[in-house]
Chain A
Amino acid sequence: MAMTGVLRPGHVQIRVLDMEASLTHYIERMGLLETDRDDQGRVYLKGWDEHDWFSVVLRPADTPGMDFTAFKVDSVETLNRLEQSLKDFGCEITRLPAGDLKHCGERVSFISPMGHTFELFAQKDYIGNGLGNINPHPWREDLKGMKVHRFDHCLLYGDDLDGAVKLFTEVLGFQQTEKVVVGPGGSVQIASFLTCGMKAHDLALIRHEEKGKLHHVSFLLRSWEEVLHAADIMGRYKIPIDIGPTRHGITRGRTIYFFDPSGNRNETFCDSYDWYPDHPEITWTEDELGGAIFYHDQQLNERFLSVVT
């Protein structure tokens, strides 16, 4: 199977209250690299092993949260086709011109039934991962802090989960890898884990009364040792930890959650499984929800479930 259509998470724009403190957090502590700034005061960042110019944009604002997150598609033809499909689904579309975000081509912006702004784009300038493409070294020696490899996914909270799952699966070609159901006979779905490629999740959605909230922005690490090292960085610099290091039953991720200086939750995690389109969907039920979310102590944590920006 060749990967076509929507390829992967491309970027996320995060609102921050204090840019200077945020740059210390995302660059010095997490290890993202700064790749540009613009006249709106936005700062562009990327994980070291990403090849496109940026994957995280920080925007100064007086409330935290997520402005939008975007997926890269395989071609301009796909972008145009999906734009029409989104219109047919009933989404209001905004076309943003190339250069509105520096180094990024035209973007198709739409609002999901859960209230979040998503974007699709087909082109972004290439910057590379700093190792070169001919006889590259396998690692960089100039990385800081947690040395996150890449922006991986977002988990978003909002009201119309069923509508959002329908949009991502039926219009954009995502597959649901895992879901959480509650209520009599598991009749109400409260969480969806969606993939557009071979990861256990490229997007996670949870039902919540308020529209458009951010639960976390996640960054990839490659080993449990790297997750523990991230925890050491949090201890050393008194970064407020939400929970972990621990493991999720859902997606099998080994993880630690913490907060940026504006109260936006971040995750650094490693491990999961490879997803193929012929794999069965996994279901988690209400009676095992504790272990689904936190596999080690099998207990839910009120802060993890309720604090969002």
Chain B
Amino acid sequence: MFGLTSGYTIHIPETGASFNCKPQEMLLVAMMRLGKKGIPVGCRSGGCGVCKVQVQQGKYATGKMSRAHISEQEEQAGFVLACRCQPQSDLVITVVGQMRKATHRNEVSSSTAE
């Protein structure tokens, strides 16, 4: 797969899912490719908080995010809105926002890696 030679691997231990995020791509865009139906992607602009995740391991850059959804303490603890998070290494994440009910649906088959 072409995808494996560039970009980063994102891993969600709770569901076993691993997927590729291309360089310069926002984490949310990569998560949308997981193909789970009905992922309630929200505003995609850092405002609504639907795509909140916590990064457990890895480096990333962030854009502007609403303080109503990511407090300063949370930001220091690795909480981000996936639509405003650009991975800069492989990441290990936990889904905490409203997206959780979609990403964690029917997760048995797991690791549909690219």
A17–B43 touching, CB < 8 Å? no
B47–A309 touching, CB < 8 Å? yes
Do most interface residues of chain A lie in helix, strand or loop, or is the interface mixed?
Answer: loop
- In the complex, the number of residue pairs spanning A and B with C-beta atoms less than 8 Å apart equals 61
B66–A259 touching, CB < 8 Å? no
The interface residues of chain B lying within 8 Å CB-to-CB of A65 are 68
Chain B: interface residue total (CB-CB under 8 A): 18
B64–A18 touching, CB < 8 Å? yes
Query: A164-172, A194-202, A261-269: which one contacts chain B?
Result: A261-269
The interface residues of chain B lying within 8 Å CB-to-CB of A308 are 48
**B46 within 8 Å of A (CB atoms):** yes
B47–A64 touching, CB < 8 Å? yes
The interface residues of chain B lying within 8 Å CB-to-CB of A259 are 43-45, 47
B61 → chain A closest CB, angstroms = 15
B43–A265 touching, CB < 8 Å? yes
A1-26: contact bitstring with B at CB < 8 Å (1 yes, 0 no)?
Answer: 00000000000000001100000000
Task: With A307-B50, A308-B48 as known contacts, state yes or no: A262 contacts B66, CB within 8 Å.
Answer: yes
A58 → chain B closest CB, angstroms = 14
How many A residues are at the interface, by size bracket?
A: 20 to 34
B66–A64 touching, CB < 8 Å? yes
B41–A303 touching, CB < 8 Å? yes
B56 → chain A closest CB, angstroms = 25
**B40 within 8 Å of A (CB atoms):** yes
Assembled-state Cα–Cα distance A65/B46 (Å): 12
Most buried by A among B40, B42, B63, B65: B42
A282-309: contact bitstring with B at CB < 8 Å (1 yes, 0 no)?
Answer: 0000000000000000000011001111
Give me the interface of A with B, judged by CB distance under 8 Å.
17-18, 62-65, 240, 242, 259-265, 302-303, 306-309
